[in-house]
Structure 1
Amino acid sequence: MKRAERQILESHRRIGRRAMMLGGIQAALIGTLALRLQHLQLDQADQFRLLAEENAIKVRLIPPVRGLILDRRGTIVAGNEQNYRVTVIADDAGDLEAVLDRLARLIPLDPEDRARTIKEARRTPTLPVTVADRLTWEEFSRVAVNSPALPGITTEVGLSRNYPFGPDFAHVLGYVGPVSDYDLSRIEDPDPLLRIPRFQIGKLGVEAKLETLLRGKAGSRRVEVNAAGRVMRELGRKEGDPGANVQLTIDHRLQNFVQARLGDESAAAVVIDIQTGDIVAINSSPSFDPNLFVRGISSADYRALMENDHRPLADKTVQGAYPPGSTFKMITAMAALEAGVISPGETVYCPGYTTLGNRRFHCWRRGGHGEVSLTKSLEQSCDVYYYEIAQRVGIERIAEMARRMGIGTRFDLPMSAISEGLAPDREWKRAKYGTDWLIGDTLNTAIGQGFVLASPLQLAVMTARLASGKAITPRLVRAIDGVEQPVMQPGDLGVSDAVLRGVRKGMFEVSNSRRGTAYASRIVDDQMRMAGKTGTSQVRNITAAERARGVTSNKDLPWHRRDHALFVCFAPFDAPRYAVSVVVEHGGSGSAAAAPIARDILLQALYGGLPPLEAYPENQRAQIEEMRARLRLLPEEPAPSGGRSRA
């Protein structure tokens, strides 16, 4: 009996422990469930409410305001203008084609735009696609009033890029356009903004090179929409960051004058401030209106640009690479003087040609120049002088001097497709053609022909370095969001003052000696005297038979077979302030085609506006007045008091 009682008590204890364990487990489960219910019902209530309403609440990106681009004076050269537009979201529209049919009764819809809209909307059904933009207020109002009958359609007031100076800045600024598949393929992790159909980004020039700075960062907004996809109200908004404002070194008034002065020529001009390296004007002609690309250029307009033999879409200032012709002679002279193979006073006899083996290398002057010194060789652009000294100094020293002066250097500027040019040497030819360098190659290079190539930008840098004796670096961006960008302090060129003085003296005679090749384009104001160098680069071979009967004049040749005309200059001679380079494609003679343009541009920069007629030779003043009357210039501003040179 006693054993049975003990067993009964032990059994009760076991049952009690088990009951307590089960009760504890049950309590733990109930507590866990309670905590989970509290988390779901209280802590995450807002999140689940949003999920429950996912068909009624949308989060949309707010495109940022694109940054402005200004000139050195603070004038807007790329801005934003108000734009009334209509967008559609395919998922909200339902029957997209039916909605577009109803929209077409309110505003004109081009068939091409309609087809594009349908294609883009179906490809990105959750994103807004622009159906029509640049609407009038009346058109915009009609769509807004009828919005209840247009599911998925939204009227928006946005901003569109505008270029107030049109062709003047086209090649520098470039333009913006819709993001393409090619654009996206080049970006590793594209900004979500770029996925918005028809969102515009920089395509060329400063707009493209500084795209990230100018674009800014997107904002977002939460909106409530009804069953028809119409926005009922805005629930929240987070503003994005506007793009940075970029100030360039260019002066819009000088830019306007240069573009007008180049006229219809296929040409390029660059103006550099010698003291800072600032590019104050850089123009390629003919130009185009970048606003056409922003608004959607027509096939006819685009075809006209593409078929123009003067290549208006090409930026000749940095993309063009030309044989520099006689403007290269200063480099050959400096290389020879530095190497000590010739002195400034030493003369070379020019009979009109140099014989090398069984070949003659001709001077441009058939009868020759007689005894020629350094100064006379530049003044009258004698070729034979440079044939002779080039053989003494050799191509390696010439190429090294060319690179020191900026030829063969790709300058880091926010512009598209900048050419490196070419300062050829033995190693380059061996790598390029697998052949040895010949002495004839050296002679051609010495006068800026053969393989050597330079862009108008490089020629302007070369001239600025020669005038200052410093390794000037060109600068295009002056400030970002009001913060001045550093001016790179130029180092020394490593060329002696005596060498520089000798070459500068020859350049001075070019435009101030009666026998100088640019004497007709001189500046007669004693305080603004100019030093320069003409250049004419051949684009065709002249046969021995043609030389025997007389070389055909450029004016008697078809335009595309005429020589390129070049001129480089700086002023004032005693205190250089600006350097200018001008290239006129197929212009014929540098002295006749390029020098007058460069002189006029240089005077405009020096005076900060139209110079007095007294700065020109007396016999040219009536002609200058007539030329000015034809130019399409911005209205004149009052001249600053107390000085003539630009600040």
Structure 2
Amino acid sequence: MKRTARDTQLSTRRISRRGLIMGGAQLAFAGLLGFRMRHLQVEQADRFRLLAEENRVKVRLLPPSRGQIFDRDGTPIAVNEPAYRIILVPEDAGDVDGVIGELSSLIELDPDDINRALAEIKKSRPFLPVTIADRVSWEEVSRIAVNTPALPGITPEVGLSRRYLMGEDFAHVVGYVGPVSPRDLAKYEEPDPVLQIPRFQIGKVGVEAKLEDTLRGEAGAKHVEVNAIGRVMRELDRREGTPGNNIQLTIDHKLQSFVQSRLGTESASAVVLDCQTGDLLAIASAPSFDPNLFVRGISVADYAQLRDNDHRPLASKAVQDAYPPGSTFKMVTALAALEAGIAGPNDTVYCPGHMEVSGRRFHCWKRGGHGTMDLNTSLRESCDVYFYDLALRVGIERIAEVGRKLGLGARSGVPMSAETSGLMPDKEWKRINRGQEWVIGDTVNASIGQGLILTSPLQLAVMTARLATGRSVTPRLISRLDGVPQPDGAGEDLGLSQDNLRHIRRGMFAVSNHRRGTAYRSRIIAEEMRMAGKTGTAQVRSQVVRNEDVPWEQRDHALFVNFAPFDAPRIAVSVVVEHGGGGSTAAAPIARDITLQALYGEAPPLSAYPAGDRERIEQMQEELRRKRPGIAPTARDRA
């Protein structure tokens, strides 16, 4: 049927309307698309340019230079030295085994290092460098550089590594660094990114570990351009890191070296403390070890040798080991009785060689007894019965209070690893920690430094310095931090009676200078240098058997503490010789020699020693000069 004009007009109108709607929609979409393109290309251009740059430019951290460590006079102890290493890029090398074979014909390669490197190559991407040899000499680097055309993929690199110039002398004080381990990273909630740098070194023990954040410094950075698969194409810029802070110790390296040498092959420790400032002038444990062995990872064989040694060279005995103080504790018992007004210096006790307490016999070291003893003579001859009697009258609470006042039973806070707090027990401590009540026998044992009481050599030196000065002397190991002086440890007045302290000091003086004193044979002859001290013997077994009749590990520990000069105390010394037997025979001679070396600042004149010791001392000085010529001249040299 033929369409009318009216129908055609209506149809045309409908088509035009639909066309306009569709055209408008298309125009709106094109406008929206144009707006979006403008937003992305103009307004967001900087953002997308940055994202593109970040895909192309990578940031690589640069390890900072570690702070160095010096002794009190500025002599370097721990330094950074250039360390050359040889790296290999597998994809550049091609035949890795062949290149390593060529390299081994030029320099000596450790088979363990080669096996480790080959294992790392298998796990790594072919363009990543792998260390083949570490700590190679400059001569070896030069040899490799000359033969570079025959060694594709091999490149010598230089970095910084730790070096301990004093070796064994400072091993227990400074400690050592080593490569970062998963265990190290686990200590941090948010590890410093620099710790992720391959082979980055971190403090493991000693000052290196305790002051790690101070010594480490801040990492630098370099920007490198990489291609699509991550290979470095070129370096764009570099910002070096901030070096760590330098540290100056209070230790005198010459005195430290002498002390370490004087302890010799004994399993022993010694501490020298400045009574006026609290400065630790020497703090040594023997035997020691070379910390340089640990810097790049110690071998299994070397570590086993140190670990299995019954003299425990890895232990920092001066701070982390705790021993019964033996008779060196008797000054604490006596001072507690004097301070409480329970006993006077002239009060006497009769010693028949033992004391009966609650049906148990407590013996004096002198089986036949000492007879009538007062404070001075009991300290001089170390009569046990006198102190049993004092303790029963004064009680453990007052003894413990004075012991804590003198620095026992608490950590000093020196930045050395695993410092022990020791143990200064009382009734409450035993009830809480042992679930037992304190008994009278505990008090008797405690009076002579046996039983539950434990002290470190460092604590014994602090105790002696406080007795010598009447102040709360606190040990200080760090003298300056990045050139800034640190507070000293002179301390405040302890609030103890000066008269009572004088009585204690006189008794200690008699120990070393009276003919019947237990340390008389180790006295100092020089009038202006005379010392006051106390011997001690700490039992390690309950059976009464002579030390000579039992194996070394079952023998008594030998202890000695002293301060000098008597009239104006400058230093306090403590010495502990493990399983050394008697304090008068094993520890006192060592302490006397250390004391004189510290007071004179060099090998003391032979006239300072008893005549009978001079030939032996001269031989010892000459032997030390041969082994360690930097310590000090001998008396003969000065003459």
| TM-score between both structures, scaled by the size of structure 2 | 0.89
On the 8 A contact 1:207/1:214 being kept in 2, the answer is: yes
On the 8 A contact 1:209/1:414 being kept in 2, the answer is: yes
On the 8 A contact 1:92/1:228 being kept in 2, the answer is: no
Q: CA RMSD in A?
A: 3.3
On the 8 A contact 2:257/2:631 being kept in 1, the answer is: no
Q: Which residue of 1 aligns with 2:358?
A: 357
On the 8 A contact 1:153/1:230 being kept in 2, the answer is: no
Shift, 1:436, TM fit: 1.7
Q: Which residue of 1 aligns with 2:329?
A: 328
Q: Which residue of 1 aligns with 2:169?
A: 168
The answer as to 2:277 corresponding to 1:276 is yes
Q: Which residue of 2 aligns with 1:36?
A: 40
Q: Secondary structure of 2:159's partner?
A: strand
Q: Which residue of 1 aligns with 2:591?
A: 598
Q: Secondary structure of 1:134's partner?
A: strand
Q: State the alpha-carbon separation in 2 of the partners of residues 120 and 432 from structure 1.
A: 51
| TM-score between both structures, scaled by the size of structure 1 | 0.88
Shift, 1:119, TM fit: 4.2
2:614 to 604, 618, 621: 621
Cα distance 1:94–1:397, how it changes in 2: closer, same or farther (>3 A)? farther
Q: Secondary structure of 2:188's partner?
A: coil
Equivalent positions of 1:394-433 (< 5 A) are 394-433=395-434
Q: State the alpha-carbon separation in 2 of the partners of residues 242 and 345 from structure 1.
A: 62
Q: State the alpha-carbon separation in 1 of the partners of residues 347 and 204 from structure 2.
A: 54
- Write the deviation string for residues 423-472 of structure 1: whole angstroms up to 9, x where unpaired: 12122222233222111111111001111110000000000111110111
- Write the deviation string for residues 283-327 of structure 1: whole angstroms up to 9, x where unpaired: 000111111222443333322222221111111101111111100
- Write the deviation string for residues 331-354 of structure 1: whole angstroms up to 9, x where unpaired: 000111111111111000011111
Q: Which residue of 2 aligns with 1:286?
A: 287
Q: Which residue of 2 aligns with 1:558?
A: 551
The answer as to 2:74 corresponding to 1:70 is no
Shift, 1:230, TM fit: 8.4
Letter in 2 for 1:555: E
Q: State the alpha-carbon separation in 1 of the partners of residues 129 and 384 from structure 2.
A: 66
Letter in 1 for 2:340: A
On the 8 A contact 2:63/2:197 being kept in 1, the answer is: no
Q: Secondary structure of 1:203's partner?
A: strand
Q: State the alpha-carbon separation in 1 of the partners of residues 581 and 572 from structure 2.
A: 23
Percent identical among aligned pairs is: 61
Q: Which residue of 2 aligns with 1:81?
A: 81
Q: Which residue of 2 aligns with 1:520?
A: 521
Q: State the alpha-carbon separation in 2 of the partners of residues 218 and 367 from structure 1.
A: 70
The answer as to 2:156 corresponding to 1:155 is yes
- Write the deviation string for residues 576-612 of structure 1: whole angstroms up to 9, x where unpaired: 1100000011111111111111111111111111111
- Write the deviation string for residues 347-380 of structure 1: whole angstroms up to 9, x where unpaired: 0001111111332111111111111000001000
Shift, 1:234, TM fit: 2.7
On the 8 A contact 2:423/2:453 being kept in 1, the answer is: yes
The answer for unaligned runs of 5 or more in structure 1 is 1-7, 544-550, 640-647
Q: Which residue of 2 aligns with 1:3?
A: none
Letter in 2 for 1:200: Q
Q: Which residue of 1 aligns with 2:8?
A: none
On the 8 A contact 1:354/1:362 being kept in 2, the answer is: yes
- Write the deviation string for residues 175-195 of structure 1: whole angstroms up to 9, x where unpaired: 111112222222221122222
Shift, 1:15, TM fit: 11
Letter in 2 for 1:37: Q
On the 8 A contact 2:276/2:490 being kept in 1, the answer is: no
On the 8 A contact 1:148/1:230 being kept in 2, the answer is: no
Q: Secondary structure of 2:614's partner?
A: helix
Q: Which residue of 1 aligns with 2:306?
A: 305
Cα distance 1:488–1:127, how it changes in 2: closer, same or farther (>3 A)? farther
Shift, 1:238, TM fit: 1.2
Q: State the alpha-carbon separation in 1 of the partners of residues 247 and 495 from structure 2.
A: 35
Q: Which residue of 1 aligns with 2:455?
A: 454
Shift, 1:133, TM fit: 1.0
Count of aligned residue pairs for this structure pair: 625
Shift, 1:541, TM fit: 1.8
On the 8 A contact 1:129/1:196 being kept in 2, the answer is: no
On the 8 A contact 2:349/2:389 being kept in 1, the answer is: yes
Q: State the alpha-carbon separation in 2 of the partners of residues 218 and 106 from structure 1.
A: 35
Cα distance 1:138–1:504, how it changes in 2: closer, same or farther (>3 A)? closer
Q: State the alpha-carbon separation in 2 of the partners of residues 625 and 637 from structure 1.
A: 13
Q: Secondary structure of 1:419's partner?
A: coil
The answer as to 2:572 corresponding to 1:579 is yes
Q: Which residue of 2 aligns with 1:111?
A: 111
Equivalent positions of 1:52-71 (< 5 A) are 54=56, 58-71=58-71
Cα distance 1:494–1:227, how it changes in 2: closer, same or farther (>3 A)? same
Q: State the alpha-carbon separation in 1 of the partners of residues 631 and 294 from structure 2.
A: 30
On the 8 A contact 1:253/1:634 being kept in 2, the answer is: no
Q: State the alpha-carbon separation in 2 of the partners of residues 45 and 103 from structure 1.
A: 45
Shift, 1:121, TM fit: 5.5
On the 8 A contact 1:379/1:517 being kept in 2, the answer is: yes
Q: State the alpha-carbon separation in 1 of the partners of residues 428 and 303 from structure 2.
A: 42
On the 8 A contact 1:151/1:229 being kept in 2, the answer is: no
Shift, 1:152, TM fit: 6.5
Q: State the alpha-carbon separation in 2 of the partners of residues 120 and 140 from structure 1.
A: 22
Shift, 1:153, TM fit: 5.2
Letter in 1 for 2:294: F
Report which stretch shifted further, 278-287 or 189-198: 189-198
Q: Secondary structure of 1:292's partner?
A: helix
On the 8 A contact 1:152/1:229 being kept in 2, the answer is: no
The answer as to 2:493 corresponding to 1:492 is yes
Shift, 1:112, TM fit: 2.0
Letter in 2 for 1:588: G
Cα distance 1:536–1:49, how it changes in 2: closer, same or farther (>3 A)? closer
Q: State the alpha-carbon separation in 1 of the partners of residues 130 and 333 from structure 2.
A: 60
Equivalent positions of 1:527-546 (< 5 A) are 527-543=528-544
- Write the deviation string for residues 132-186 of structure 1: whole angstroms up to 9, x where unpaired: 1111234324545666887765431111111111110011111111112222222
Q: Which residue of 2 aligns with 1:645?
A: none
On the 8 A contact 1:128/1:196 being kept in 2, the answer is: no
Shift, 1:122, TM fit: 5.8
Q: Which residue of 2 aligns with 1:372?
A: 373
Q: State the alpha-carbon separation in 2 of the partners of residues 619 and 638 from structure 1.
A: 22
Q: Secondary structure of 2:86's partner?
A: strand
Shift, 1:401, TM fit: 1.3
Q: Which residue of 1 aligns with 2:4?
A: none
Letter in 1 for 2:256: Q
The answer as to 2:49 corresponding to 1:48 is no
Letter in 2 for 1:309: D
On the 8 A contact 2:348/2:373 being kept in 1, the answer is: yes
- Write the deviation string for residues 14-52 of structure 1: whole angstroms up to 9, x where unpaired: 99999999878756753553453346767755753563x
Q: Which residue of 2 aligns with 1:195?
A: 196
On the 8 A contact 1:467/1:504 being kept in 2, the answer is: yes
Report which stretch shifted further, 587-596 or 137-146: 137-146
Q: State the alpha-carbon separation in 1 of the partners of residues 341 and 371 from structure 2.
A: 23
Q: State the alpha-carbon separation in 2 of the partners of residues 140 and 226 from structure 1.
A: 30
The answer as to 2:511 corresponding to 1:507 is no
The answer as to 2:630 corresponding to 1:635 is yes
The answer as to 2:577 corresponding to 1:607 is no
Q: Which residue of 2 aligns with 1:241?
A: 242
Cα distance 1:464–1:419, how it changes in 2: closer, same or farther (>3 A)? same
Letter in 2 for 1:175: Y
Q: State the alpha-carbon separation in 1 of the partners of residues 225 and 81 from structure 2.
A: 29
On the 8 A contact 2:273/2:572 being kept in 1, the answer is: yes
Cα distance 1:91–1:40, how it changes in 2: closer, same or farther (>3 A)? farther
On the 8 A contact 1:225/1:233 being kept in 2, the answer is: yes
- Write the deviation string for residues 500-528 of structure 1: whole angstroms up to 9, x where unpaired: 11101100111111111111111111111
